[in-house]
């Protein structure tokens, strides 16, 4: 799997049918700290790595949050409204963020494995 760098890629959700989603990758401290702050929406998803929890303080819109383990298997999926603090997840190494309600349509649910393809 290796370590990713800040940039773009594709999130592949493995399930009944594989779904490919545009992905932003945030691995530096600066990129992870900024995350989705100051935006009105996100195209596709944002991967924060490493990360075990997130918050939505100063965010403008609700988001879906998926906590991933070191093997990119989904541990939990939550919808968070602005101005909330998410609880840390044991074994979580990465966090995916997307607009509220879209992860279900992609097939992101507990136990599903995802793949990160770097462009």
Report the C-alpha gap between 52 and 69 in whole angstroms.
9
Which burial class, exposed, middle or buried, applies to 36 when counting CB atoms under 10 A from its CB (0-12, 13-18, 19+)?
buried
Instruction: Give per-residue pLDDT as tens, 1-22.
Output: 558 999 999 999 998 889 999 9
**Alpha helix (H) residue ranges in 18-87:** 29-34
- Average pLDDT (62-89) is 95
Question: Would you state the structure tokens that stand for residue 1, as one six-digit string?
Answer: 């799997």
Q: What is the mean pLDDT of the chain?
A: 94
Q: Is the pTM value of this prediction over 0.85?
A: yes
Kindly tell me if the per-residue pLDDT of 36 is higher than 60.
yes
């Amino acid at each position: 799997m290796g370590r990713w760098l800040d940039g773009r890629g594709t999130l592949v959700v493995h399930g009944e049918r594989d779904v490919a989603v545009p992905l932003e990758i945030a691995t530096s401290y600066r990129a992870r700290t900024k995350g989705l702050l100051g935006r009105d929406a996100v195209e596709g998803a944002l991967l924060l790595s490493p990360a075990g929890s997130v918050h939505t303080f100063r965010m403008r819109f609700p988001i879906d949050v998926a906590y991933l383990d070191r093997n990119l298997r989904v541990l939990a999926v939550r919808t968070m409204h602005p101005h909330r603090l998410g609880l840390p997840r044991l074994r979580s190494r990465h966090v995916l963020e997307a607009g509220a309600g879209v992860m279900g349509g992609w097939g992101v649910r507990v136990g599903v494995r995802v793949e990160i393809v770097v462009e």
